[in-house]
Copies of this chain bind each other. A is one copy, B any other.
């Protein structure tokens, strides 16, 4: 860790809960290694308190940026002054930076990090059929990145019909003919199945989808980082399917964060 002085630049990671977040533990040693006088601290904010907290943080002159995790990724898009096309398409942001004029610009790196992690593990999604379960903050960003990476078809499943219809509508307009949305996952012809729901964080969670219903060649990916092997990934491994864990999605975002923040 870099020693913190009065001149250290602040970055905050907003989430609820917060104790489990991994980004401070990963990013701060990288900042120290680069000699950046900057620190990322966890900021625990319940959803009901988000607006006054963000209003206050905007006035903190040495706070130069924010990372965002569950459940604030959609809400922060609305509170940013501008966002990239991919963030608006996803309806979700996970990073904001203060510009020199005091306004805040937002982007999402979840999808890019997820796809880079897949590629690094040898699972190129181009031309594949993907079943993505979970249309929340991370899931929506992953959907956009998978479509940008050239998947043949994206089947999007979520149990919240309003959320599913909103994201499905935006994606169908932007990527005609490649997107399908339904309340239940279509697994039978999926080359890659992704869990982007919180199911698996707790030991007694039901599985987000049935590994048994996938083809024998399918890759199973989970974005949950803790536990490192979820029940879903264990089921995939036991069936002999390639299992892709959550950690690479974050690890492959670190460089993108540093670029975005100019660190």
Contact = CB atoms under 8 A, between A and B. Distances in A.
B19 A7 contact: yes
Interface in A143-190: none
Interface stretch (A21-29, A71-79, A253-261): A21-29
A16 B62 CA distance: 10
Contacts of A2: 1
Contact of A56 (B25, B29, B44, B54): B54
A53 B21 CA distance: 24
A125 interface: no
Contact of A43 (B10, B22, B42): B10
A4 B42 contact: yes
Contacts of A20: 6
Interface in A54-80: 54-57, 59-63
How many A residues touch the partner, as a band? 35 or more
Contacts of A16: 61
Contact of A18 (B24, B49, B59, B62): B62
B61 A8 contact: no
The 5 residue pairs across chains A and B that have the minimum distance between CB atoms: A56-B56, A6-B21, A49-B59, A1-B1, A44-B62
Interface of A: 1-8, 10, 13, 15-16, 18-22, 24-25, 28-29, 39-46, 49, 52-57, 59-63
Given A3-B28, A4-B24, 14 more contacts: A1-B1, A1-B2, A4-B41, A5-B24, A6-B19, A6-B20, A6-B24, A6-B25, A7-B42, A8-B41, A41-B41, A45-B59, A45-B60, A53-B57
27 contacts: A1-B1, A1-B2, A1-B4, A4-B25, A4-B28, A4-B41, A5-B25, A6-B15, A6-B18, A6-B19, A6-B21, A6-B25, A8-B24, A8-B42, A10-B41, A10-B43, A18-B61, A39-B39, A42-B62, A44-B61, A44-B63, A45-B60, A52-B55, A54-B56, A55-B55, A55-B56, A56-B57
